[in-house]
Amino acid sequence: MVEQKKYLLFLATPDSEFAKKAYGGYHNVFVSLLGDEGEQWDSFRVVDGEFPDEKDLQKYDGFVISGSSHDAFQDTDWILKLCDVIKKLDEMKKKVLGICFGHQLIARVKGGKVGRARKGPELCLGNITIVKEAVTPENYIGNEVPESLRIIKCHQDEVLELPENAKLLAYSSMYEVEMFSIEDNLLCIQGHPEYNRDILFDIIDRVLAGGYIQQDFAKMSKATMEKNEADRKIWQKICKNFLKCQPSLLV
């Protein structure tokens, strides 16, 4: 009998009303992208101070850290505690996938520098350039490595300096660090592979209503998805290959 695979999601953001109504919350949004039949996916709302017991970390095959409206360079209690958990998981050589805030927090923990985005925030469908010569030997993308990939972006901070042992996997005209890896157990992505058009548009509407962006910015943000969509299937393959496969088994 094959042992059930177990994964843990660190939710660093509350569920929006739209996410709850449309998907039952962000837990389900992530599982719909990353999960497979027969797996167990648990989540802890770390933004509310919910953390697993340290002794339970060993039973999980992989971990995912979500995005957040909080800054990864803050020193609030839950962020510092999550930093400690990341250090522990790295010592255990557990697979950890960092998304947006998670991407930045892993960079911080490993000695990189994180701060406000130098060219300003992004809330749109963006295009990132893949560093082809860097994707091997792990190569979570597969045999055919594209020149670039489209991904939904929603952030105002960025990784300013990579940790010393990090490998840059993608960049863009806006940000020098769009994706990086450290050894074969940490993979970090600035964009949101789990987001779709409806989730992005809901976020745009909410930040516009809150007065955080202007109408023109919101209009331009939505226009990025008029004729294009994110490369969701490729991102799904990348994330699943990283979490679930040995490099020799990737296709």
Q: Provide the annotated active-site residues.
A: 100, 192, 194
For tokens 């040995």, the residue is 246
* Cβ atoms < 10 Å from Cβ of 60: 19
* Cβ atoms < 10 Å from Cβ of 39: 15
- For residue 125, give both structure tokens: 């469908």
Sign, CA dihedral 73-76-79-83, equals positive
- For residue 33, give both structure tokens: 């992208």
Query: What letter would DSSP give residue 140?
Result: S
- For residue 52, give both structure tokens: 């697993």
* Cβ atoms < 10 Å from Cβ of 126: 22
Query: What letter would DSSP give residue 58?
Result: G
For tokens 């091997």, the residue is 136
Element (H, E) at 151: strand 148-155
**185 Cβ neighbours under 8 A, 6+ residues apart:** 90, 93, 94, 95, 96
Dist. CA 67–CA 113, nearest whole Å: 17
